[in-house]
Structure 1
Amino acid sequence: MEYNFDEVISREETDTVKYGLREKLFGSKDVIPMWVADMDFRVPKEVQDALKARVEHPIFGYTIQSERCWESVVNWLERRHNWKVDQKELVFSPGIVPALSLLVHAFTKPEDKVLVFSPVYTPFFEAIKGNGRKVVPHHLQEVEGKYTIDFSVLEEQLSQGVKVMIVCNPHNPSGRMWTKPELQRLVELGKKYDTLIVSDEIHADLVLWGNKHTPMATVSEEAANRVITCMAPSKTFNLAGLNASYLVFKNETLQKQYRSVAGTLHLDFGGTMGTEAMIAAYTYGEEWLEQLLPYLERNISLVVNFIKEHIPEIKPMVPDATYLLWLDCRALGLDDVSLKQFMVEEAGIGLNEGRLFGEGGKGWQRMNLACPKSIVEKAMAQLKVAVEKRRIVSQ
């Protein structure tokens, strides 16, 4: 089946975060929303069909994640990532963000140190601070248009008693995919300083340009014992509103400790629709994904090339994965408040503010390109006009 990702589908009356919060966040309903990380594309037909079929049954009681559910996950991980996982190693979660908070709570105590690689997805900070723990930011270094880890600095930080290290792989907001040697080094340092590693791999399926994702837990025997992996079909198949994700524990002891917290809160099993959607997506959604990835590549290339030609003041960090584009806007000469105002009021687009991603994010903006090409082109045209007007005023 051929999917039409050029189709523009209105989401105005569906109470979505992406569209429904525009006025609150940007002061206008007229901005093109290119911020929160969900897609403006139809889900795979098989997913919609599975949900319709389930709705035909008139009872919606408590739902378990049966062997049918976990079998779809196991098969997906082996097909897409060459990762053999046993069903008993999987634990359901209503989302990765709740799981991160539960993991911090389960494996640390108040005032313990938790390390993140900054700039990074904002809820990482919230999961740590909200649990009364201390954030230890490792500032990623930009080298030749890519973020890198300064392992000498990292080792010094870990030696100061960091209990948990949260890794984002692929990295959000930059789309950087950490290499196997980098992941191995992180695990080695985790072992040396007895630091637990949580690996958020929610974007793992959205690899671009022929890249291959390496699950962190697969890089060594020590990694399997020390790494807890967070994954979901939500980013891959645009299912975020159905609240279905899972954690992979190769270490049984760690799983028991996590369940002692998540189980008490009844957050280790999920709802009917999310479960059905996950099964259908992982069982039948591969053809849809194979058509999606080159479409995302074309959107990213369109923006990167357009900016290079028409808006050299902005420098995009080309991602290895994800549908997110991290934009260095510092050469526009605007502070963060003025930069947001410029994007909204003059360019008419709503992006994520880089400063919210922590140290290193000031002067940057995150753009979501998982939308029809026509929307991307409109946004770029508006941004070009806005920058040109700014140039004239600055002269």
Structure 2
Amino acid sequence: MSVSPLEALPLDELRQRSSTKWRSYPGDVIPMFVAETDFALAPAIARTLTEAVTRGDTGYTPPDPGLRGAFTAFAARRYGWEIEPTRIRSTGDVMMGVVELLRATIRPGDRVVIAPPVYPPFSMCIPEAGGVVEEVPLRDTGDAWALDLRGIEAALAGGARAVLLCNPHNPTGTVHSRETLAALADLAKRFGAVVISDEIHAPLVYPGGTFTPFLAASATAAEVGYAVTSASKAYNLAGLKCALMISASERTAAVVNGLWPEVEWRTGLFGALAGVAAFSPESDAWLDAQMAALDVNRRLLADLLAEHLPRARYRTPDAGYLAWIDVSAYGWGDDPARRILRDAKVALHHGPLFGPQGVGHVRLNFGCAPEVLTEAVRRIGALART
């Protein structure tokens, strides 16, 4: 059954927002850098938050605001993943959860594997937790990106004690297969390491793709892994501060339950209320409509690049609304986003922040109206012709 795409809000309305996306640059700049989308909130979320404000429900987050039940039902419905509700705890955001889990599972100075190009805070949160970053870049197979399992094996054999996984991967939109995740779990078990899987983009996998939660990839993955996720990327709730830390075995559950109580106290009440509404069946139709809109845009972007930036290299992502684009052929320097901002008035994310593999690249957020996406690429294309 086809789903009608969600329509993005008009620019004049969006520019009234006070979030990072809309307050970082002057009004003549099209902002397409940070992972915020341009759609109205899902009705169930908007209603829930409005009712909370009306009744002055702005206090501390209770021990069980309903998140465990809402997410376990969502995971079963959308992923076919059965989770024990008691093995879920909340915190303020995904990176908070990652830092606390790393602190609980590695020793100061231990090396932690990441797979660049990858979300820039990965390289920041590891030192915050006392670890040392070890890069094992994604492999370019020629038509896709994949984890370098041999490289990860060598890193673990050399003493790395954890793998910080992005599943699905940001910025490439790669959806890792069950087989790949199970093989990663086997490596972690063999070398006595853990895997912490950031699954914040999981609800954003396009039709035809299958998201496999790391903890569900195999019995071994359940033993060695932790998952951290949130409704924030799929439902545009980053400012409300709520994420979930999930375990799937008695041993890993003991680690999560052993975190300081303050870790859970950092959960925002509005984030918890919005998360429950987001994960409810009532919001499924909204999510499906948003995915239909994003599907249109990821394909439109390919056409626009072919027309206006034919030397750019872009693979249509299998998940998410972030496009990883190689524009190095245009000679705009190691960090082309700077030139594009200055001369085309389009704000993109800086490729080198994602690792050395990001030189000559930009990340573009296409969670917007098709007309906005078209104008942005047209502006950049004009720059290429000067």
Q: TM-score range by the shorter chain?
A: over 0.9
Q: Tell me what 1:20 maps to.
A: 23
Q: Identity over the aligned pairs, expressed in percent?
A: 27
Q: Distance in 2 between matches of 1:268 and 1:59?
A: 16
Q: Which letter does structure 1 place at the counterpart of 2:137?
A: H
Q: SS state of the match for residue 205, structure 1?
A: helix
Q: Which letter does structure 1 place at the counterpart of 2:343?
A: E
Q: Distance in 2 between matches of 1:46 and 1:190?
A: 40
Contact 2:117–2:356 (8 Å) recurs in 1: yes
The 5 Å alignment of 1:278-357 reads: 278-283=275-280, 284-337=282-335, 339-357=336-354
The 5 Å alignment of 1:99-248 reads: 99-248=97-246
The 5 Å alignment of 1:68-107 reads: 68-107=66-105
In structure 1, the gaps of 5 or more residues are 23-27, 390-395
The 5 Å alignment of 1:232-271 reads: 232-263=230-261, 265-268=262-265, 270-271=267-268
Q: Which letter does structure 1 place at the counterpart of 2:267?
A: G
**CA separation of 1:123 and 1:321: change in aligned 2, threshold 3 A:** same
Deviation at 1:255, TM superposition (A): 3.2
Q: Distance in 2 between matches of 1:73 and 1:152?
A: 34
Which has the larger displacement, 150-159 or 85-94?
150-159
Contact 2:113–2:152 (8 Å) recurs in 1: no
Deviation at 1:257, TM superposition (A): 2.6
Q: Tell me what 1:392 maps to.
A: none
Q: Distance in 1 between matches of 2:260 and 2:234?
A: 25
Q: Distance in 2 between matches of 1:288 and 1:59?
A: 25
**CA separation of 1:113 and 1:86: change in aligned 2, threshold 3 A:** same
Q: Tell me what 2:10 maps to.
A: 8
Note the aligned Cα RMSD (angstroms). Answer: 1.8
Deviation at 1:44, TM superposition (A): 0.8
Which has the larger displacement, 67-76 or 235-244?
67-76
Deviation at 1:381, TM superposition (A): 1.3
Deviation at 1:148, TM superposition (A): 2.1
Q: Tell me what 2:33 maps to.
A: 35
Q: Distance in 2 between matches of 1:116 and 1:89?
A: 25
In structure 2, the gaps of 5 or more residues are none
Which has the larger displacement, 148-157 or 134-143?
148-157
Q: SS state of the match for residue 161, structure 2?
A: strand
Q: Distance in 2 between matches of 1:130 and 1:201?
A: 20
Q: Which letter does structure 2 place at the counterpart of 1:308?
A: A
Q: SS state of the match for residue 83, structure 1?
A: coil
**CA separation of 1:346 and 1:179: change in aligned 2, threshold 3 A:** same
Q: Tell me what 1:372 maps to.
A: 369
Q: Distance in 2 between matches of 1:3 and 1:313?
A: 30
Structure 1 consecutive aligned stretches of length 4 or more whose deviation exceeds 3 Å: 1-4, 11-14, 258-262, 265-269
Deviation at 1:135, TM superposition (A): 0.5
Provide the aligned length of Structure 1 versus Structure 2: 382
Q: SS state of the match for residue 245, structure 2?
A: strand
**CA separation of 1:306 and 1:12: change in aligned 2, threshold 3 A:** closer
Contact 1:3–1:288 (8 Å) recurs in 2: no
Q: Which letter does structure 2 place at the counterpart of 1:364?
A: H
Contact 1:206–1:321 (8 Å) recurs in 2: yes
Q: Distance in 1 between matches of 2:338 and 2:153?
A: 39
Q: Distance in 2 between matches of 1:154 and 1:358?
A: 17
Q: SS state of the match for residue 299, structure 1?
A: helix
